[in-house]
Amino acid sequence: MKHDPSRAIFEMKQFGEYGDVNPSITDSATYTFLQAKTMTDTFHGEAEGCFLYSRHWNPSNKYLADVLAAMEGTEEGWVTASGMGAITSAILQCCNSGDHIVSSVTTYGGTFAFMQNYLPKFNIKTTFVDITDLDAVRKAITPQTKIIYTESMTNPLLQISDIPVLAAIANEHNIKLMVDNTFTPMMIAPAKLGAHIVLYSMTKFINGKNDCVAGAICGTHEFINSLIDVNSGTAMLLGPVLDPLRSSSILKNLHTLHIRMQQHSKNAMYLALKMKDAGLKINYPGLPDHKGHELMKSQMHPDFGFGGMLSIDMVTSDKASRFMELMEMHDVGYLAVSLGYFKTLFSNSGKSTSSEVPEDVQHDMGLSAGLVRFSVGLDHDIERTWKSIEHCLSIINNE
């Protein structure tokens, strides 16, 4: 039976210390012990259910991490203060000086910059490839490779990664497949498809309110324990801990994620079909002519649709800018970075969330200067939203 992420969330039984239906929020930085030996055992990772210091673990973060692990079908989870905190901690836990990464060239700009510009300080090199070209992935692997890195649905080109095949390639070489699933929570469960480590920027769809930044790492007991080891754990020693108050609010929001993803997907499909009929150059994995459509269908949970992300090509950045300014003026949504908000957000990727990627690399990967990325919101009257978009297009076409 297909893994049901929503059911996994709702089957979790978590109560507050007084029978609260919401788990209690623990805002302590440190925790007391009745016996000195228990503190020593906790430092060594040998005391079950004990908390030491909130940079390591705290009960509120543990509640959220446990639900995320259930959602993903992994043994454990860990939460961080940002998506980049999750990405960098996971990568640095897997790699040492002299190691190598094979990564999708189409990836979030911050991730690209970390691999391209920051990791070389530690003599860690990255080869960027078209992740849909599986032969290129295989050829890029060297004896020093430790990670194949990709996104389930890549940012911003919306390519679909073949997670089962990438996992098989990783297993052949005894390396890790690390998958950022930020665009496709509920829809795709990378760990169930063979990925070893699953990452999230919870800032986006998971939280859904754009009122905080947060990240998550899901994987095996062994990997999560290595991350938070007091002597060598990257997450423990670099300290990207999430505030427990934020953990508590995200945990509540998780219980509406399945409804939100359905509505995001429904609205995005509606707009994609209208945009296609209007003759726009539309990119949406839910459309049958999308290169990754059948692959996504084979990997996704059908209850949650094809997601809330789509893009159109306005050819030039000037035209894209004019279009976005008009859309904000006519209440389509906000000209803003990020995604997963209840209002529609749009941005010109090459000048914003992918601006860390050099222009020649953007060109080579097929990122148009006029690409406008939409994170489609939860609009009840999506027909009105389309009419506003259509009106903005008519203004541009008549200028």
Pick the closest to residue 181 from 63, 85, 87 (CA basis): 87
State how far the Cα of 116 lies from the Cα of 124, in Å rounded to an integer: 9
State how far the Cα of 292 lies from the Cα of 153, in Å rounded to an integer: 9
∠ CA 242-243-245, nearest 5°, is: 130
Q: What single DSSP character describes residue 188?
A: B
Check residue 232 and give its pLDDT.
94
State how far the Cα of 33 lies from the Cα of 45, in Å rounded to an integer: 15
Contact 328, 336 (CB under 8 A): no
Answer whether 5-254 and 258-397 agree in fold: no
pLDDT mean by block of 10 residues, the chain; 399 residues: 85 77 84 80 74 85 96 97 98 98 96 96 97 98 98 96 98 98 98 98 97 97 94 93 95 97 98 97 97 98 97 94 96 95 92 72 84 96 97 92
- Positions of E strands within 83-134: 100-104, 125-129
Check residue 354 and give its pLDDT.
64
Other beta carbons less than 10 A from residue 376's beta carbon: 29
Q: Domain-by-domain residue ranges, the chain? A: 5-254, 258-397
State how far the Cα of 161 lies from the Cα of 181, in Å rounded to an integer: 11
State how far the Cα of 212 lies from the Cα of 214, in Å rounded to an integer: 7
State how far the Cα of 345 lies from the Cα of 324, in Å rounded to an integer: 10
Q: Cα 2 from chain centroid? A: 21
State how far the Cα of 239 lies from the Cα of 373, in Å rounded to an integer: 33
Q: What sign does the dihedral 241-245-250-252 (CA atoms) show? A: positive
Contact 353, 347 (CB under 8 A): yes
Tokens of 123: 């003599």
Contact 105, 361 (CB under 8 A): yes
47-56 long-range contacts (CB < 8 A, ≥24 apart) are 53/29, 54/28, 54/29, 54/30, 54/241, 54/244, 55/236, 55/239, 55/241, 56/228, 56/230, 56/236
Contact 158, 283 (CB under 8 A): yes
In one letter, which amino acid is 359?
Answer: E
Check residue 352 and give its pLDDT.
65
Tokens of 258: 């399945």
Q: Cα 328 from chain centroid? A: 26
Task: Tell which CATH architecture fits domain 5-254.
Answer: 3-Layer(aba) Sandwich (3.40)
Check residue 11 and give its pLDDT.
87
Check residue 77 and give its pLDDT.
97
Check residue 88 and give its pLDDT.
98
CATH of the domain spanning 258-397: 3.90.1150.10
Contact 286, 272 (CB under 8 A): yes
Sheet holding 371-375, edge to edge: 282-283, 309-313, 371-375, 345-348, 334-335
Check residue 55 and give its pLDDT.
85
Beta bridge partners of 148: 102, 177
- How many residues make up the chain in this entry? 399
Check residue 257 and give its pLDDT.
98
Pick the closest to residue 155 from 94, 119, 204, 117 (CA basis): 204
In one letter, which amino acid is 325?
Answer: E
Check residue 131 and give its pLDDT.
97
Tokens of 313: 């090509």
